Structure 1
């Protein structure tokens, strides 16, 4: 079993971290892809609540983090965006965590697990003496209450459709029991629970590390009507629970208002308490504004550093923390839009894109062109995928053969946001549009602010030929990409290939090894022929923190919980006995 996620690496000294930052900028500001910098465990930010804490003030255990967008909600079972997960990870923990060194599954609320019934059931031994933030005990009954809530979630509550993690992992809810891999949850004692599956699912344990499977207090779920979306916030319907979640994590919810979410340390936390007493997540959509806020001491760190900002950050002595690439940027295509369902049309799109030119100067060093959707980190890269050489001439010929007559093609792209796979969306769109136009496509730009519902638009609106989006992995298994993106029909792509869906459903049941790797390579090859979307890049993402941060838990899967931040000269509280 991997080491407990409460393990903390020895913090780098301030001098070592400044050395990392100074050398990092040379690679981060390069224009073309090259060998990535080694990932280091690096510092984390300080915080400011009512007034900025000057950089270098080491007398307080507060930490303010600048985020690129508001969370869409704080009920992780019903969201799928990075900024929501970044916050809910601090408050809700799952049975399974992630090893900080390997990204493999590690014990969290479950201390161990055992496979039973030839992979169709798992028994979990639960951590004892764990409390929810409302004082309720964490036990086997609480685990089953959460699983049953996810499984029986009403259709009216499942507003994100297939992007809800339970459906993408387990295929279906209780209203389609014949399709669901989840079957039941049974307490075997106060601190032991049995999860039964309808079939073998090799990705089951890794998938439980998803923030979506964070354990919530059953009492809070009931009292705050978690399945009733009665409150409107930023154009979305949320439940009372999504505005005030209750978990077992190192931080408890305090407030969410005016672009800020504030958390405080949970005094009865079972694990490492850490040094941070107050965390504030402050929404600052523009990257330049986040940079200025960091340099002025208003925030202690932010994520999604851009090429344009990297050099200035390093010159100012800030610490740039690079993650191993574990996301994919793609150009999505809606096959319900007239003409896009023609394979020749989609081939023309693939031939029209010059991926190295798209990456140059717009992504951090180490970003590589993608010809498939499964990142190299997974070790199942196929050498047999269909290749589409960059050739505007071939693209024009294919468009003519497809009968394309120059009809305007609405191309949706996000504004005022940065994502792990896309830190400068406007610049990437401009280059893609230029390339497609040069090959004969009549591009109609449709810019939409991320906060105005961009994600919902491109996953549901039919008035769309193209869209720019990506996927960031949250656990280490090929199904996190193949299953989430192409495991079934979705309105995002309007892609209908039952044979591919069956391949993906079979691959997840295979034991780890050569046969499973071959199955995912075959899946990549099938996707490359059908082209429901064009993979563009495996981007490098990076966060930045101020010099007062001695260590920060950088993670390729964004499993970055702030009780593992070390601040200069802040005394760490004593961990509870037995933790």
Structure 2
């Protein structure tokens, strides 16, 4: 640090000690004073005290309170929702926000209990695996009907799975979750065999995901592509209407009498209806909770979490989401990120703890690897691999022949160290700006483009990027196959590292087929280590859903991927 930096830093330390600045404000104030990012990072490291950690109590917010009093049936709950799904067909969707809504309309075949790690009954009551590990036999729940009156049976499951494989359906997620699926044999109306070409360890976990929930064959055939606008399932709520870019209304299924194991009562849902209002702008969404237009929202402004935790008129819930964290895949097939030294230097050059706390006010932890920490098989060893170390980043680039030019940007063989970074606007764009600033200090020129999804997806598929973004929730580490297997570079393009890697593919395939739980965890530990050793992704933050609700909304508890089970929700009467 220069003398000027030191004087400015001492002033900030005194202010931080008095609790006058949050971590985010410290970064902003430091930049305003002319401190470099590396100086700010040193300051943060030197003052990592309780005064800097005045953020929300994550543990308290995750200890979800029990409902108060006896449930009162009836009424409407308005959900302010931060994203509008592109489709409500679970077979097609690739959107986490849609997956969370699906559980209210569709029932899964099995339920995954995150606390115990066990699989519990959904629409399937029992299951077994054949000796050759290729056939799952399921006993199905009796007396279940779809919302259109179609009986739920083995044919409905077979139809759902087989239709997912139809190329015309354009399935994004469900088709991958079926893995090496071969066929479904209907033994009798309530018994099925699901047959695979090879062992497939994550199948039960995938079945607990809403994208493999059975759909009404009758409605799906009649509606065709329009099924995603008029979904029909077996769940506790019936789809009523969807006003595009405004709202969606779900009404209670009066015949619902087959609660899945995740639910906490029997019979129909308590609420008459759930109205989902799509409010994309974050401040507006927050305002609807505060003015009473929304009873519950899924994206409390992070800077408001602490305030609401201290207000008895509101409740805050912060469920952590397993799967992949928000990450920045690096294009290993395009210069200069085809150079592993450049990729590793990027990781060392970023003070991710500061970046994430600046963005999220302590409500989300910085990610450390390709899996979020709540995920089965998470490897804590990755947490030690890439500490913030700008000197190490500089050494890697120097040794690789990247020399600083007169303007501070590194060059090699006449080429500038130029990176194309594509992302969304909003908080993703804010993250991009901080990443851009850190990489500039390391001598990397970053062209940050904040674009709409369609343009971004096309650019990713074409491989025009050096730095991409992706996020994918899942309770099973098989999500790493989705994001890093070579077969997912074309088509869905969930693998945005863009370079085929036969060694990684073989590791992923072996882990997918491994049915011994301990051996499978060991394999995924090795996969995470390999991904980080190759430096093909930059972990950003682990997803935590910032739910806020008014005090009278009771019975709130959460799906494994962070959505609310509205079946058990009720309004406390005054």
TM, length-normalised to structure 2: 0.79
Q: How many residues were matched structurally? A: 490
2:58/2:318 contact within 8 Å kept:
no
- 1:557 is displaced (CA, Å) by 1.8
- The counterpart of 1:380, out of the listed 369, 377, 396, is 377
Mapped to 2, the partners of 1:454 and 1:561 lie a distance apart of 34
Change (3 A) 1:500 1:461: same
Range with bigger deviation, 207-216 or 101-110:
101-110
Cα drift, residue 38 of structure 1: 6.2
Number of the residue aligned with 1:466: 467
Match of 2:341, SS?
Answer: helix
Separation of aligned partners in 2, 1:379 and 1:35: 21
CA contact (8 A) 1:370 1:535 kept: yes
Corresponding residue for residue 554 of structure 2: 550
Counterpart position of 1:283: 278
Displacement of 1:90: 1.2
What residue in structure 1 maps to residue 63 of structure 2? 40
Q: Kindly tell me: are residues 544 and 344 of structure 1, through their superposed partners in 2, closer, same or farther at Cα, counting changes over 3 Å?
A: same
Task: Quote the residue 2:514 is aligned against.
Answer: 510
Higher helix share: 2
Of the candidates 299, 305, 330, which is equivalent to residue 304 of structure 1?
299
5+ unaligned residues in a row in structure 1: which ranges? 1-26, 45-57, 172-180, 226-238, 417-423, 571-579
Q: How does 1:77-476 map to 2 (within 5 A)?
A: 77-99=91-113, 101-102=115-116, 104-151=118-165, 153-154=166-167, 156-158=168-170, 160=172, 164-167=173-176, 169-171=177-179, 181-225=180-224, 239-259=225-245, 260-271=247-258, 272-316=267-311, 317-327=313-323, 328-363=325-360, 365=362, 367-378=364-375, 380-382=377-379, 384-385=381-382, 387-400=385-398, 401=400, 403=402, 404=411, 405-406=415-416, 408-416=418-426, 424-449=427-452, 452-453=453-454, 456-457=457-458, 459-473=460-474, 475=475
CA displacement at 1:383 relative to structure 2: 5.3
Tell me how large the CA RMSD over aligned residues is: 2.7
Distance 1:30 1:276, change over 3 A: farther
**In the alignment, which residue of structure 2 is the partner of 1:54?**
none
Conserved in 2, the CA contact under 8 Å of 1:321 and 1:554? no
* Secondary structure, counterpart of 2:288 in structure 1: helix
CA shift at 1:357, angstroms? 1.2
* Secondary structure in structure 2 of the residue aligned to 1:123: strand
Give the secondary structure class of the aligned counterpart of 1:560: coil
Contact 1:553 1:561 in 2 (8 A): yes
Deviations 1:143-182 (A, max 9, x none): 111111113x11x44264xxx2322x344xxxxxxxxx11
TM-score normalised by L of structure 1: 0.78
Give the Cα separation in 1 of the matches to 2:252 and 2:315: 25
- Unaligned 5+ runs, structure 2: 1-49, 259-266, 403-410
* Structure number, greater radius of gyration: 2
Q: 1:563 to 1:364 in 2, by over 3 A?
A: farther
8 A Cα contact 2:108 2:213, kept in partner: yes
Corresponding residue of 2:407: none
Provide the C-alpha distance between the structure 2 equivalents of 1:455 and 1:222, rounded to a whole number of angstroms. Answer: 33
Q: Helix, strand or coil: the match of 1:37?
A: helix
Contact 1:186 1:194 in 2 (8 A): yes
Q: 1:379 to 1:32 in 2, by over 3 A?
A: farther
Q: Secondary structure at the match of 1:113?
A: strand
CA distance in 2, matches of 1:559, 1:209: 14
Q: Secondary structure at the match of 2:187?
A: strand
Q: In structure 1, what is the Cα distance between the partners aligned to 2:169 and 2:131? A: 33
**Are the counterparts in 1 of residues 477 and 524 from structure 2 also a CA contact under 8 Å?**
yes
**Alpha-carbon contact 1:104-1:206 (below 8 Å) kept:** no
The answer to whether the 8 Å contact 1:63/1:300 transfers is yes
Whether contact under 8 Å (1:345, 1:402) holds in the other structure is: no
